[in-house]
């Protein structure tokens, strides 16, 4: 389909959805009809999969429970989940090995619900997908069921309150793939701003109250921070020292610098000696581009997260939405977040209690912490009295059993090994293009073009649509 025709088709579809908003009645200050839009973080995606136990402990589900919402429907999936959740299968020496817990996925449990689900968050979605994407993989088909885009289904429920936590995948692909590509693994800021403001405008146009959330800094999640750029003793997990100095790993451009990051899937390569100097028992082969983020790439991703969060805060201010500051919450957890008594959780992989086995998504305990931040924001902005989630069952009881658990702190001293199967399952769920495709695009962009203006790589979606809604918000109008 020609590009201009595609633009017109998307603009027409989006305008149809948004023009219908005017028919919605004004809502009161309640969560009677509560909907959630977002990505894997709001969906309850834990340890690389979507399954009933963590879904029922997702952020929207916890907020709904605390608010006394009587009917909050989710696209529940039986154990072991889709994809099957990750687990520690055993130990290679002292190193825990992380793999999918089964080769057989779970199945939908309430696929025939005769109305849209209340939780319409879809793993792998970016902000434009909320408007445009209706199929593409098993999870999308299970959640949206061919009934139209997520925004249209959410508005069809005539919500009184909405939770919007979207934007993570507009930057996460760059961090998890190790390849930073504008318009491919990073959404351009103007595209994000226009679409995000359109989304919030569409929801509040009918009188629905909204809570939004800032995006966590994806360069500080365990997937990015667990492995340092230096050689570790695989038995102790501690840096190898020669004459008191650490030994840099070998990256695509030579020895890695202190500010470079080695991604979690590189652990399987390091176990084979890749990235390790030959003089120290390794192969001498460099780690591939997709296993490393350079310091410059880290800075680019961090700047993009900051820009997106500025957009989110400004949209919230213009449209009167509450803001849950998840970015600040994660930063606090990096140094230790108290959860009662002498218990402190951190973002450390496997042992911290906040992040699950995939190194990207929270445990149910992490979701409970985030839910309390959403509840605080809702109460502060709208004068509510929703009680916070009791963290005790998530620390000591069965509510915390899905994903990594604090008691793992005494098991294994070696470097965790994130298997290739675990990495591939996560990539597919996050809808990140294959590494080979990303590397081809990167190579083309680094070569001089014979025909200026021609980009042979896949373009970002045409997202410069305009609709008849004032995107400045009520506070921005003159």
Q: Are strands 95-100 and 417-418 parallel, antiparallel or unpaired?
A: parallel
* Alpha carbon distance 82, 74 (integer Å): 14
Host H or E run for residue 373: helix 364-382
Estimate to the nearest angstrom the gap between the alpha carbon of 340 and the chain centroid. Answer: 27
**Cα–Cα dist 445/456, whole Å:** 8
Task: Say how many residues make up the chain.
Answer: 478
What is the model's pLDDT at position 95?
84
CATH class of the 30-93+108-223+301-404 domain in this structure: alpha beta
Q: Is 433 helix (H, G, I), strand (E, B) or coil?
A: coil
Burial of residue 36 (CB within 10 Å: 0-12, 13-18, 19+) is: buried
DSSP letters of 392-417? HHHHHSGGG-SS--GGGGGS--S--E
* Tokens 């501690």, located at residue: 238
In sequence order, what are the residues at sequence separation of 6 or more whose Cβ sits closer than 8 angstroms to the Cβ of residue 364?
46, 53, 54, 57, 394, 399, 400, 401, 402, 403
Which of these, 197, 201, 129, 195, lies nearest to 465 by C-alpha position?
195
**In which order are the strands placed within the sheet that holds 95-100?**
86-92, 95-100, 417-418
Residue 334's SS3 state is helix
Per-residue pLDDT tens listing for the chain (478 residues): 443 333 443 444 444 444 444 333 333 358 999 999 999 999 999 999 999 999 999 999 999 999 999 999 999 999 999 999 999 987 776 788 999 999 999 999 999 999 999 999 999 999 999 999 999 999 999 999 999 999 999 999 999 999 999 999 999 999 999 999 999 999 999 999 999 999 999 999 989 999 999 999 999 999 999 999 999 988 888 999 999 999 999 999 999 999 999 999 999 999 999 999 999 999 999 999 999 999 999 999 999 999 999 999 999 999 999 999 999 999 999 999 998 778 899 999 998 999 999 999 999 999 999 999 999 999 999 988 999 999 999 988 777 754 444 344 445 567 899 999 999 999 999 999 999 999 999 999 998 765 555 444 444 443 333 333 343 444 444 3
CB contact set of 451 (below 8 Å; sequence gap of 6+): none
pTM: 0.88
Q: What is the pLDDT at residue 415?
A: 84
CB 176 within 8 A of CB 291: no
Residue of 256, 268, 269 lying closest to 230 (CA atoms): 256
Give the CB-side neighbour count of residue 255, counting CA atoms within 13 A: 9
Phi, psi torsion values for 382, nearest 5 degrees: -110, 10
Rounded CA separation 42/74 (Å):
11
Residues in contact with 200: Cβ distance below 8 Å, sequence separation at least 6, in sequence order? 164, 210, 212, 315, 316, 319, 321, 473
Residue 234, pLDDT score: 80
Contact 301, 353 (CB under 8 A): no
CA angle 291, 293, 294 (to 5 degrees): 135
Q: What's the Rg (C-alpha) of the chain?
A: 22
Say what the pLDDT of residue 55 is: 97
Q: Alpha-carbon distance 67 to 158, whole Å?
A: 18
**Tell me, what's the pLDDT at 342?**
81
Whether the CB-CB separation of 438 and 178 falls below 8 Å is answered with no
CA 120 to chain centre: 15
Q: Domain locations in the chain?
A: 30-93+108-223+301-404
Q: DSSP label at 169?
A: G
Burial class for 71, CB neighbours closer than 10 Å (0-12, 13-18, 19+): exposed
Q: Tell me, what DSSP letter sits at residue 134?
A: -
CB-CB contact of 98 with 419 (8 Å) = yes
* Residues 221 and 418: beta-carbon distance below 8 Å: no
Helix axes 189-204, 295-319, angle to 10 degrees: 30
CB atoms within 10 A of CB 317: 13
Please state, in angstroms and rounded to a whole number, the distance separating the CA atoms of residues 94 and 410: 12
């Amino acid at each position: 389909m020609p590009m201009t025709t595609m633009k017109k088709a998307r603009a027409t579809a989006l305008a149809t959805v948004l023009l219908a908003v005017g028919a919605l009645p004004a809502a009161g200050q309640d969560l009677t009809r509560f909907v959630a839009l977002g990505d894997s973080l709001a969906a309850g995606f834990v340890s690389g999969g979507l399954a009933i136990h963590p879904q029922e402990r997702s952020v929207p589900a916890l907020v709904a429970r605390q608010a006394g919402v009587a009917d909050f429907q989710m696209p529940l999936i039986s154990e072991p989940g889709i994809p099957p959740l990750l687990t520690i299968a055993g130990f290679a020496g002292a190193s825990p090995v992380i793999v999918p817990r089964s080769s057989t996925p779970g199945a939908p449990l309430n696929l025939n619900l005769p109305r849209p689900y209340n939780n319409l968050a879809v793993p792998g979605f970016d902000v434009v997908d909320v408007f445009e994407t209706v199929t593409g993989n098993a999870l999308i088909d299970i959640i949206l069921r061919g009934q139209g885009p997520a925004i249209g289904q959410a508005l069809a429920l005539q919500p009184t309150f909405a939770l919007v936590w979207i934007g993570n995948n507009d930057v996460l692909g760059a961090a998890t793939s190790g390849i930073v590509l504008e318009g491919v693994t990073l959404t351009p800021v103007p595209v994000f701003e226009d679409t995000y403001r359109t989304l919030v405008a569409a929801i509040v146009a009918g009188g629905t109250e909204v809570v939004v959330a800032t995006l966590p800094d994806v360069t500080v999640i365990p997937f990015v921070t667990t492995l340092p750029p230096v050689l570790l003793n695989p038995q102790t997990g501690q840096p190898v020292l020669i004459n008191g100095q650490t030994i840099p790993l070998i990256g695509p451009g030579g020895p890695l610098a202190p500010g470079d990051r080695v991604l979690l899937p590189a652990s399987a390569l390091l176990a084979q000696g890749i990235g390790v100097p030959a003089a120290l028992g390794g192969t001498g082969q460099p780690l591939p581009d997709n296993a490393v983020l350079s310091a410059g790439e880290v800075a680019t991703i961090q700047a993009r997260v900051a820009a997106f969060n500025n957009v989110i805060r400004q949209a919230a201010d213009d449209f009167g939405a509450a803001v849950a500051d998840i970015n600040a919450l994660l930063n606090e957890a990096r140094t230790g977040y108290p959860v009662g008594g002498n218990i402190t959780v951190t973002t450390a992989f496997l042992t911290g209690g906040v992040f699950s086995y995939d190194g990207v998504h929270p445990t149910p305990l992490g979701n409970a912490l985030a839910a309390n931040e959403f509840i605080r924001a809702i109460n502060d902005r709208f004068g509510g009295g929703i009680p916070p989630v009791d963290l005790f069952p998530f620390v000591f009881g069965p509510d915390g059993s899905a994903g990594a658990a604090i008691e793992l702190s005494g098991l294994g001293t070696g470097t965790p090994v994130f298997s290739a199967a675990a990495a591939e399952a996560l990539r597919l769920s996050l809808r990140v293009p294959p590494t080979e495709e990303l590397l081809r695009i990167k190579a083309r962009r680094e070569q001089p073009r014979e025909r200026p203006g021609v980009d042979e790589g896949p373009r970002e979606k045409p997202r410069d649509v305009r609709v008849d809604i004032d995107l400045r918000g009520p506070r921005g109008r003159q």
